[in-house]
Amino acid sequence: MVETPEPPPTLADPRALLLGYLDHNAAAVLRKLEGLSDHQLRRSVVPSGWTPLGMVKHLACTERFWIRYLFAGEDVDFSWPRTAEQEWFVAPEESSADITAFFRAERDNCARVAAVTPLDARAVRTTRRGGAEEHPTLAWILFHLVQSFARHAGHVDVGRELVDGVTGR
């Protein structure tokens, strides 16, 4: 596995840092799946039951929710996966190529929105945090996605090590 470098430590632009780390973490998740068979991509090795392919699907759904639905206010079709639990489930007819393409499409959409939108722009829809409904800023949403992708990249790293002993950043 070839490591995806972090943004350079001299980078000070907040947008470039947020997008750079989001790209870094997303690439790490996909890189950790390289070389796994279809069976290994769909098999859970942890008690909670998530699978590597299910993690990719979950991250794509997460990005779709925060960027397209909440921030941009799009009427996103949530008939698939319908519930938070189903976004982790990979049906037999869902190919790894289709789920990876879905993930990449949501990543591309996020990059397009973030490239032209002020970081202090507020989401069209509200989210409930700490009991109050708020319109989060794009900066907050991007940072939320960075930490979520980083946390889940670590999960995938542990899962990969349990599957075949491969480790790496």
pLDDT in tens, 141-164: 999 999 999 999 999 999 999 999
Domain of residue 48 covers 15-164
Number of domains composing the chain = 1
Please check the confidence at residue 2 and state whether its pLDDT lies above 70. Answer: no
Considering the domain boundaries, does residue 144 fall inside one?
yes
Please check the confidence at residue 85 and state whether its pLDDT lies above 80. Answer: no
Going by pLDDT thresholds of 50, 70 and 90, the confidence category of residue 11 is: very high
Specify the DSSP class assigned to residue 71.
I
Considering the domain boundaries, does residue 1 fall inside one?
no
| pTM beyond 0.85, yes or no | yes
Considering the domain boundaries, does residue 77 fall inside one?
yes
Q: What is the CATH number of the domain that holds 43?
A: 1.20.120.450
To which H or E segment does residue 127 belong? Answer: strand 127-129
Contact indicator for 32, 157 with CB cutoff of 8 Å? yes
Cβ-proximal residues to 153 (8 Å cutoff; 6+ apart), any chain: 25, 28, 29, 32
